């Protein structure tokens, strides 16, 4: 007799996931996972769980559960009513199940009434990836990093070079406390409600220790992990890595000149607020302000800089020279406006001119030399990364790279990603729409730094595949993972072309 939920714990243990890790990835709670594993819950939840686990239903995608049932019924020559009677459920329930809706218990009853078996299997994405690497030196895999990595054997990679989501959003201290408390209990924090400034569905949170634990497991002892981070959230990323067992060795500063400050002038904001209040009042809210020179109320709120050209005429009167009109403001708003000048030029952030690359390492087993001999990992490839100055000197690489003036350029390595580079080798009609593409030269330097030729490199957050391109150019092998189909396709084309 088939019991669908029964098979979930086996699949989960193959994926090395706890109930709460699975729950966090499927955006449900751990009790719901328990309910499904006990044969309860809804089809929608079961499908979400199977999707996270990367399981197939008799070789089909879990979202096709409903059509699987319909085909099985039609194959047995039964009507919906007939199946309903045999299974002891109603006909509308059968109709719902065939549309992928309803309860797992009813679905199980219908499957048993049909007298067929339903098998959930795991497709080993790692097996396909390893075969592709053998043939092409690289493989790209679509899926959640933690779930895909759970299929790989221990110690498979020499290094991990990656650019994970930065999770750039607001972090009030209560939120930070909750995140840290959740991580310390070895649970995943639910980042699903966080929106990042990129407004991308993958950038609302930071990778959790549970994902980094998988990376730690598949890395060789002494294997380096390089992860890009924003200065504002590098602390959380670093903590997440530490909690997963990594040691933090250093931080590389990557200097960039094209970042834009995302902040507004406080004096200007203050004027805008006063004038918005004024407009509201002119439109009859509380007569706080009178429109002195008649005519229609002016919609200042629509103007980007509503008080351009404004100046104080009397204590509480503002003259808008651009509009030949003036307003008398309430005492409070008038004094606020007077204060605005004091705050001109005050903003809440600096221009972002560097990003961080966290340098972490899976701890050595024993002494450095023994670890290197046994696992072929644990060192930085300094000579392969020396900076070649125009003066002929090959300088020791430092933890500072970037786009700097010519007078200092001889000391530092300074790569840039151009749009030509981003789109290179993409088929006609496809453009690299990824918002955070890194320069190939920079990634080559990082790959060289932490590996030797022939090494196996991992990027669990591959995006459009720049780490993979770097690996091909430096004669390393590469496996990249990304949750988004479109990025995986882009990465495949780019890496293949550069190879």
Binding residues (CB under 6 A) for ligand SAM: these are: 144-145, 163, 165, 202, 434, 436-438, 461, 463-464, 466, 481-484, 487
CB of 419 to ligand SAM, least distance (A): 13
Q: Which is nearer to ligand SAM, 362 or 438 (CB)?
A: 438
Shortest Cβ distance from residue 209 to ligand SAM (Å)?
Answer: 13
**Nearest residue by C-beta to ligand SAM?**
463
Return the residue matching tokens 């110690």: 155
Task: Considering the complex, state which of residue 69 and residue 437 has its C-beta at the smaller distance from ligand SAM.
Answer: 437
**Between 66 and 167, whose beta carbon lies closer to ligand SAM?**
167
Q: Which is nearer to ligand SAM, 297 or 415 (CB)?
A: 415
- Shortest reach from residue 225's CB to ligand SAM, in Å: 15
* 120 vs 417 by CB, closer to ligand SAM: 417
Taking the complex as a whole, the smallest distance from the CB of residue 197 to ligand SAM amounts, in Å, to 13
Angle at 174 between CA 237 and CA 200, to 5 degrees: 50
Reduce the secondary structure of the chain to three states and give it as a string: CCCCHHHHHHHHHHCCCCHHHHHHHCCCCHHHHHHHHCCCCEHHHHHHHHHHHCEEECCECHHHHHHHHHHHHHHCCCCHHHHHHHHCCCHHHHHHHHCCCCEHHHHHHHHHHHCCCCCEEECCHHHHHHHHHHHHCEEEEECCHHHHHCCCCCCCEEEEEECCCCCCCCCCHHHHHHHHHHHHCCCCCCCCCCCCCCCCCCCCCCCCHHHHHHHHHHEEEEEEEEEEECCCCHHHHHHHHHHCCCEEEEEEEEECCCCCCCCCCHHHHHHHHHHHHHHHHHCCCCCCCEECCCCCCCCHHHCCCCCCCEEEEECCEEEEHHHCEEEECCHHHHHHHHHHHHHCCCCCCCCCCEEEEEEEECCCCCCHHHHHHHHCCCCCCCHHHCEECCCCCEECCCCEEECCCHHHHCCCCCCCCCHHHHHCCCCCCCCCCCCCCCCHHHHHHHHHHHCCCCCEEEECCCCCCHHHHHHHHCCCEEEEEECCHHHHHHHHHHHHHHC
Q: Provide the minimum distance between the beta carbon of 208 and ligand SAM in the complex, in angstroms, as a whole number.
A: 9
Closest CB to ligand SAM among residues 81, 433: 433
Smallest separation (angstroms) from ligand SAM to the CB of 298? 44
147 versus 328: smaller Cβ distance to ligand SAM: 147
Least distance in angstroms from the C-beta of 436 to ligand SAM: 4
In angstroms, how far is CA 454 from the centroid of its own chain?
29
Report in angstroms how near the CB of residue 144 gets to ligand SAM at its nearest: 5
User: For ligand SAM, which is the closer residue by CB, 337 or 417?
Assistant: 417
Pick between residue 163 and residue 403 the one whose CB is nearest to ligand SAM: 163
Total length of the chain:
499
- Smallest gap from Cβ 432 to ligand SAM, in A, equals 8
Cα–Cα separations (whole angstroms), residue 371 to 153, 447, 474: 19, 20, 24
Q: Smaller CB distance to ligand SAM: residue 301 or 483? A: 483
Comparing CB distances to ligand SAM, the nearer of 198 and 384 is 198
Nearer to ligand SAM, 102 or 165 (CB): 165
Which of 203, 211, 201 has its CA nearest to residue 240? 211
Smallest distance, Å, CB 146 to ligand SAM?
A: 7
| C-alpha distances in Å from residue 281, one per residue of 267, 274, 284, 290, 337 | 21, 11, 5, 8, 16
Of the pair 364, 447, the CB lying nearest ligand SAM is at: 447
> Least distance in Å: CB of 266 to ligand SAM?
31
Cβ–Cβ < 8 Å for 313, 238: no
The Cα-based distances of 412 to 42, 254, 395 in angstroms read 58, 10, 9
Closest CA to 205 of 214, 196, 197: 196
Q: How far is the CB of 472 from ligand SAM (least distance, A)?
A: 14
Nearest approach, Cβ of residue 145 and ligand SAM (Å): 4
């Amino acid at each position: 007799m088939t019991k669908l939920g029964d098979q979930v714990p086996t699949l989960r243990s193959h994926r090395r996931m706890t109930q709460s890790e699975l729950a966090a990835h499927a955006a449900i709670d751990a009790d719901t996972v328990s309910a499904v594993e006990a044969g309860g819950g809804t089809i929608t939840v079961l499908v979400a769980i199977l999707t996270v686990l990367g399981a197939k239903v008799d070789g089909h995608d879990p979202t096709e559960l409903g059509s699987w049932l319909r085909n099985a019924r039609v194959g047995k020559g039964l009507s919906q009513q007939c199946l309903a009677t045999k299974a002891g459920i109603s006909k509308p329930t059968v109709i719902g199940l065939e549309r992928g809706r309803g309860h797992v218990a009813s679905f199980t009853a219908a499957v048993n009434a049909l007298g067929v078996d339903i098998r959930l299997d795991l497709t080993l994405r790692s097996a396909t990836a390893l075969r592709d690497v053998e043939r092409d030196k690289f493989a790209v895999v679509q899926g959640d990093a933690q779930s895909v990595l759970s299929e790989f054997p221990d110690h498979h990679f020499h290094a991990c070079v990656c650019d994970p989501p930065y999770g750039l959003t607001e972090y009030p201290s209560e939120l930070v406390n909750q995140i840290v408390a959740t991580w310390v209990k070895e649970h995943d924090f639910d980042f699903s409600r966080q929106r990042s400034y990129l407004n991308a569905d993958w950038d609302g949170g930071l990778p959790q220790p549970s994902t980094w634990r998988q990376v730690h497991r598949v890395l060789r002892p002494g294997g380096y992990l390089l992860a890009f981070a924003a200065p504002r959230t590098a602390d959380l990323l670093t903590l997440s890595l530490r909690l997963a067992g990594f040691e933090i060795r250093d931080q590389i500063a990557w200097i960039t000149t094209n970042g834009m400050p995302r902040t507004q002038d406080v004096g200007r904001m203050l004027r805008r607020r006063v004038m918005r209040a004024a407009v509201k009042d002119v439109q009859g809210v509380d007569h706080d302000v009178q429109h002195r020179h008649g005519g229609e109320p002016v919609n200042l709120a629509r103007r980007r800089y509503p008080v351009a050209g404004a100046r104080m005429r009397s204590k509480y009167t503002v003259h808008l020279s651009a509009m030949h009109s003036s307003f008398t403001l309430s005492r409070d708003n008038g004094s606020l406006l007077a204060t605005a000048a004091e705050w001109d030029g005050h903003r809440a952030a600096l221009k972002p001119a560097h990003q961080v690359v966290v340098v972490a390492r899976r701890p050595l087993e024993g002494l450095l030399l023994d670890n290197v001999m046994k696992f072929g990992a644990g060192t930085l490839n300094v000579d392969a990364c020396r900076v070649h100055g125009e003066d002929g000197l090959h300088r020791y690489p430092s933890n500072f790279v970037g786009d700097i003036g010519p007078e200092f350029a001889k000391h530092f390595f300074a790569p840039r990603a151009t749009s030509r580079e981003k789109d290179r080798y993409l088929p006609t009609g496809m453009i690299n729409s990824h918002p955070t593409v890194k320069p190939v030269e920079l990634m080559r330097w990082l790959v060289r730094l932490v590996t030797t030729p022939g090494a196996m490199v991992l990027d669990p957050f591959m995006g459009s595949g720049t780490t993979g391109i770097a690996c091909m150019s430096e004669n390393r092998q590469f496996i990249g993972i990304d949750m988004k189909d479109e990025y995986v396709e882009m990465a495949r084309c780019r890496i293949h072309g550069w190879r």
